């Protein structure tokens, strides 16, 4: 096992070679890079990805050999480009082509890809929807609105969110049938069936009173 210092040095020295699978480290081809759940063609495991389409820079990148102040630092990935900043994670100097600006922090492409693979970017992780929580909310709403004739709609909505949650977990290679997921599904079925029966009784009683 490598020490933390040795591992950090190895990560810094290794050049960025494009996005890869966070499970098997297989390099992903351009056709597989997209925003959403991506299934690795090698290990068949799914992971959440975010594809970036940077705007083509209008200005040429300054070259160390021809411009810039004396003693200007060169980009770690492009030897002839002048560095404009350094990576917050590893400290490497990077040019404007390599700069991955997330607002308050800046990463080089290599560190950005590693942190994205480890799900360590809060902005990217926040895009994941918790469908199981949405299903639980729909179940609770169905219970409260049972006597307003819209309980079955919330039961159907809860089952829909539950199916979406299972699909996401299966795509990431996780177990979709956890104890919590099973309980949510059973409650959704109970809400759907129970509210349908209650609504049927209410409609029948109203029809009986208006047509004795």
pTM (predicted TM-score): 0.40
Q: Is the residue at 62 inside a domain? A: no
49 domain residue, yes or no: no
Q: What's the average model confidence in pLDDT over 59-72?
A: 54
Query: Is 185 contained in some domain?
Result: yes
Report, as an integer, the average pLDDT of 133-154: 83
Q: Is residue 41 part of a domain?
A: no
| pLDDT reported for residue 94 | 92
| Domain membership flag for residue 60 | no
- Please tell me whether residue 126 adopts helix, strand or coil conformation: coil
Cβ-contact 210, 163 below 8 angstroms: no
Among 22-26, 71-75, 124-128, 146-150, the range scoring the smallest mean pLDDT is 124-128
Residue 181 lies in a domain: yes
Residue 56: DSSP 8-state: P
The structural domain count of the chain equals 1
Residue 154 or 58, more confident: 154
18 domain-assigned: no
What's the pLDDT score for residue 4?
A: 47
C-alpha span between 154 and 159 (Å, rounded): 9
In-domain check, residue 178: yes
Residue range 180-206: mean pLDDT, rounded: 84
Find how far residue 184's CA is from the centre of its chain.
Answer: 23
- Quick count: other Cβ atoms within 10 Å of Cβ 115? 17
Domain containing 169 equals: 131-205
Question: What pLDDT does 73 receive?
Answer: 84
Place of tokens 């006597």: 147
Tokens read off for 156:
């159907």
pLDDT surpasses 70 at 14: no
Within 8 A by CB and 6+ apart from 122, the residues are none
The percentage of residues in the chain with a pLDDT greater than 70, rounded to a whole number, is: 72
Residue 124 is predicted with a pLDDT of 44
- Quick one: pLDDT band at residue 130, thresholds 50, 70, 90? confident
Highest mean pLDDT among 63-72, 114-123, 172-181: 172-181
């Amino acid at each position: 096992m490598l020490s933390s210092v040795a591992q950090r040095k190895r990560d810094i020295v290794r050049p960025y070679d494009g996005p890869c699978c966070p499970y098997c480290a297989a390099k992903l081809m351009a056709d597989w890079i997209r925003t959403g759940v991506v299934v690795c063609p090698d290990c068949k495991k799914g992971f959440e990805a975010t594809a970036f389409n940077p705007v083509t820079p209008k200005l040429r990148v300054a070259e160390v050999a021809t411009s810039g102040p004396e003693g200007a630092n060169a980009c770690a990935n492009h030897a002839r480009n002048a560095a404009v900043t350094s990576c917050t994670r590893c400290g490497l100097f990077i040019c404007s082509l390599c700069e991955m600006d997330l607002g308050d922090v800046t990463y080089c492409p290599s560190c950005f890809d590693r942190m994205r693979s480890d799900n360590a970017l809060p902005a990217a992780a926040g895009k994941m929807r918790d469908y199981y929580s949405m299903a639980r909310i729909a179940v609770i709403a169905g219970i409260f609105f049972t006597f307003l004739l819209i309980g079955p709609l919330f039961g159907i909505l809860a089952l829909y969110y539950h199916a979406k949650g299972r699909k996401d977990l299966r795509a990431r290679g996780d177990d979709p049938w956890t104890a919590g997921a099973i309980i949510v599904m059973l409650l959704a079925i109970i809400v759907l069936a129970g509210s349908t029966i209650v609504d049927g009784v209410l409609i029948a009683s109203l029809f009986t009173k208006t047509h004795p």
